[in-house]
Structure 1
Amino acid sequence: MEHCIADVLEVVGDRWALLIVRETALGLRRFDQLQASTGAPRQVLTDRLHRLTAAGLLETRPYRVPGQRTRNEYVLTDAGIDLLPVLSALSDWGERHLAEGTLPEIVYRHSSCGGRVTATLQCECGEQIDPHGRLIAEVRR
C-alpha cells in the first residue's frame, strides 16, 4: 500500500502531535506531564494521544499511584522512534530559517561522543546527498 505525504500529515501533521512525540521521547509519559509541557488543551491532548496510539506511534502501559485508580502512560513504539529524525530535521530547519541568533530549544546529541546530531539526506548507497544538487524526486501515482 502506497502512502503519500497527505496520509502522514493526517497522523502527525499538527503541532500537538509532534510535540507529544517529542515530549514522550524526552521521557514524559503521563497525561498531566504532557499537558503541562505542551500546553495542549485537555480535549486536544486526549484526541492526539488516541490518534497517535491508533496509528501505532504510541502504546499505553498501565501504572498506578498508591491510593488512586490505574491509569495509562504513553511510550513511543518503534514507529514513533522513527519520527525522531523528522523532529531533528524540523529543529535544524527552524534554527537556520526562523530563529537566527537564538539557541535551539532542544539539541539532539550522540550519547557516545556528545556530538550534535543533525538530519541529512543519504542515499541507500551510503553517499550523503546535497539537496541543492543531485536530488531527484520520483513521483509515483
Structure 2
Amino acid sequence: MRWEDLDQEPCSLARTLAVVGDRWTLLILRDCFLGVRRFDVFEKRLGITRHILADRLKKLLSYGVLYKSPYQERPLREEYRLSEKGLELHSVILGLVSWGDRYMSDERGAPIVHVHKSCGHQIHPITSCPECGEAITAKDITLELGTNWDNSLGELLPTRNT
C-alpha cells in the first residue's frame, strides 16, 4: 500500500487517511473547529511553514472538507470554512481529543473541556447503535463485507487471531 494511492484503496479508513491522515491536517482541522479561518492565523498558531500550510489547505479544499469564503472585497481576501463534509469530522476530532485527554494528559488534566450547550455538562463521545441506542465498543461489533464488495480484491476481512 503506497501513501499516495491511499484514496484508491478498498478500505474506508485508508481513503479517509488520504485526506486527513497527517499531523498538520489534523491540527488545521482542530483549529477550524476552534474558529480559526484565516491563513495567517493558522500559520501563527501552528508554527507551520507557508508551503506546508498552503498544501494542506489545498488538499482539504480539493476534497470538499473546506471551502473559501470572501471576507473582504478590495482586495479580495478569503477565509477557510468547514463544509458540511468537514463539519461531519467533528466526532472524529472529538474522539481523538477524548483519547488524548484520557491517555496523554498530565496532572493538570484536559486543557479544553467540551460542554453541551443545552444542559451545561461536560461531554465525552460515546459510540452507540443507531437502532437500539445501546453504547458499543469494538468487542460488540462483528464485521461483514459491504453489499457491493467481495474478497476478489484481496483479504478485506482477514481472519482474526483468537
Percent identity of paired positions between Structure 1 and Structure 2: 37
Residues of 1 paired with 2:111 and 2:48: CA distance? 18
Residues of 1 paired with 2:88 and 2:107: CA distance? 29
Residues of 2 paired with 1:27 and 1:100: CA distance? 25
Q: Relative to structure 2, which stretch is displaced further, 33-42 or 75-84?
A: 33-42
Paired residues, number: 138
Equivalent residue runs for 1:1-141 within 5 Å: 3-64=11-72, 69-125=75-131, 126-131=133-138, 133-138=139-144, 141=156
Q: Give the CA RMSD over aligned residues.
A: 2.1
- What CA deviation, in whole Å up to 9, does each residue of 1:22-60 have, x standing for no partner? 211221111011111222211111001110011111000
Structure index of larger Rg? 2
SS at match of 1:85: helix
**Runs of 4+ off more than 6 Å:** none
TM-score calculated relative to the size of structure 2: 0.76
Q: Which amino acid aligns with 2:78?
A: N
Q: Relative to structure 2, which stretch is displaced further, 114-123 or 73-82?
A: 114-123
Higher strand share: 1
Q: Which amino acid aligns with 2:53?
A: L
TM-score calculated relative to the size of structure 1: 0.86
Does the 8 Å contact 1:89/1:119 carry over to 2? Answer: yes
Residues of 1 paired with 2:108 and 2:143: CA distance? 33
Q: Which blocks of at least 5 consecutive residues in structure 2 are unaligned?
A: 1-7, 147-155, 157-162
Does the 8 Å contact 1:91/1:104 carry over to 2? Answer: no
Residues of 2 paired with 1:70 and 1:84: CA distance? 29
- What CA deviation, in whole Å up to 9, does each residue of 1:76-95 have, x standing for no partner? 01111111111111111112
SS at match of 2:140: coil
